[in-house]
Structure 1
Amino acid sequence: MDYLSQWYIEYRSVSSNLNAICHKHDISLEQFLYLERLVMEGTQSPSELAMVFKISSPIVTRKLNVLQDKKMIEKLRGERQDQRLVNITITEWEEHRQSTAVPTLGRSFLGQQ
């Protein structure tokens, strides 16, 4: 087996394990990464998140709408000069949940309880 094939198999295994762990917490790995970014960096605009994750702004907006429906994030308007611009922040409830979930996810991935 060549190195690229081996790398891909290992990548899929790690990705699958991380997704399984996240699903136990009712989020996807992708949603976890968005929430982690907001926890670590604070309020962000959809375009800032699009640049970080290297995807288009409309796709980010659709993904953020799912998190908003789950009451994990809030969209704030009017904190910048242009009222059309939206800032994304994590809700207080989600911030508390993230502070307990991140260590749990890490321990679960490492096989610790």
Structure 2
Amino acid sequence: MKKLEELTSMNMIEDYLSNHELSFLYVSREDCGVCHAVLPKLRELLDKFPLIHLGHINAYDVEEVAAKFSIFTVPVLLLFIDGKEVLREARFVHFDELEKRLEKIHKMYNQQ
């Protein structure tokens, strides 16, 4: 299962995004049932994409994350390339579609 890095401050999040070319942020809350169901599926999916790093943010611990990334619900999945958001999924994730989109992005970076 994909390694998950816990990000507990805005500084950690900003460092994470600047240190990884392809970075995925998973924003959740511990009292969110959907969040608990989506995370294992996401980690399993991201195993197929070794270039993508996965960071986790508990929205209760880092409240500023909601304003910074315009988050209105959880879970939120955000993919960044070179610090720019390129993909966003929220609440109910369609994993088949997400996988196709990630395959295109990963293929592009694998060719470099």
TM-score under structure 2 length normalisation: 0.32
Richer in strand (by share): 2
Q: Using structure 1 for the length normalisation, give the TM-score.
A: 0.32
Q: Larger C-alpha radius of gyration, 1 or 2?
A: 1
| Higher relative contact order (CA closer than 8 Å, sequence separation 6+) | 2
